[in-house]
Amino acid sequence: MTSFMTFSRGLGLALFAALAVWSGTSAAAQDGNWWDGITGFGPPDYSGKRASLERTPPRQDTLNDLRPNDIPWRSDEMLAAMEQAIARYEGIVNKGGWPAIPGNRMLRPGDDDERVSYLRRRLMATGELPRSSSYNDYGFDSGLEQAVIRFQENNGLRTNGRVDQPTLAALNITAEERLAQLKLNHARILELVQLPPEERYVLVNVPAFQLEAVERYQTVLRHRVIVGRQGRDTPSLKATIRNLNFFPFWRVPDSVAKLDVFPRLVNEPDYLQKEHIRVVRGDFNGPEIDPSSIDWSQADARVIKLKQDPGPQNALGLVRIDMQNEHGVYMHDTPMKPLFQQRARAFSAGCVRVQDVFQLVEWLAKYEPGWENPGQVQAVLDMGQALDLQLTRPVPVYFAYITAWAEPDGRISFRPDIYRRDGAVAMADVFDPDAPPPPSAGLAP
List 228's β-bridge partners, or say none.
Answer: 348
CA atoms within 13 A on the CB side of 347: 26
Q: Which long-range contacts (CB under 8 A, 24 or more apart) does 336-343 make?
A: 336/226, 336/438, 336/439, 336/442, 338/439, 339/226, 339/438, 339/439, 340/224, 340/226, 341/63, 342/435, 342/436, 342/438, 343/61, 343/63, 343/65, 343/156, 343/157, 343/158, 343/209, 343/432, 343/435
- Mapped onto helix, strand or coil, the DSSP state of residue 49 is coil
Judged by phi (left if over 0) then psi (alpha if -120 to 50, else beta), residue 217 lies in left
Structural domains in the chain, CATH included, are 46-195+404-445 (1.10.101.10), 200-403 (2.40.440.10)
pTM, two decimal places: 0.83
Question: Which is it for the CA torsion 236, 242, 246, 252, positive or negative?
Answer: negative
What is the per-residue pLDDT for 50? 39
Cα distance between residue 125 and residue 174, in whole Å: 12
Q: For residues 278 and 350, is the Cβ–Cβ distance under 8 A?
A: no
The alpha helices in 294-336, defined as continuous H runs, are none
User: Which pLDDT value is given to residue 51?
Assistant: 39
Q: What are phi and psi of 361, to 5 degrees?
A: -60, -40
What is residue 439's predicted lDDT score, i.e. its pLDDT?
A: 56
pLDDT of residue 442: 56
Bridge-based pairing of strands 346-348 and 218-228 is parallel
Contact (CB, 8 A) for 104 and 110: no
pLDDT of residue 19: 35
User: Cα–Cα distance between 36 and 22 in angstroms, integer?
Assistant: 10
d(CA 107, CA 53): 12
Q: Is beta strand 331-332 parallel, antiparallel or unpaired with respect to 352-354?
A: parallel
pLDDT mean by block of 10 residues, the chain; 445 residues: 41 38 37 32 34 59 91 98 98 95 95 95 95 85 96 95 95 96 98 97 98 98 96 96 96 89 92 93 90 93 94 92 95 94 92 97 96 92 96 98 96 95 73 59 61
Give the containing element (helix H, strand E) for 93: helix 76-94
For residue 54, give the nearest of 101, 135, 112 by alpha carbon. Answer: 112
Please tell me the distance from the alpha carbon of residue 160 to that of residue 108, in angstroms, as a whole number. 9
- pLDDT score at 135: 78
Strand locations in 184-313 (E): 200-205, 210-215, 218-228, 237-246, 250-251, 277-281, 304-308
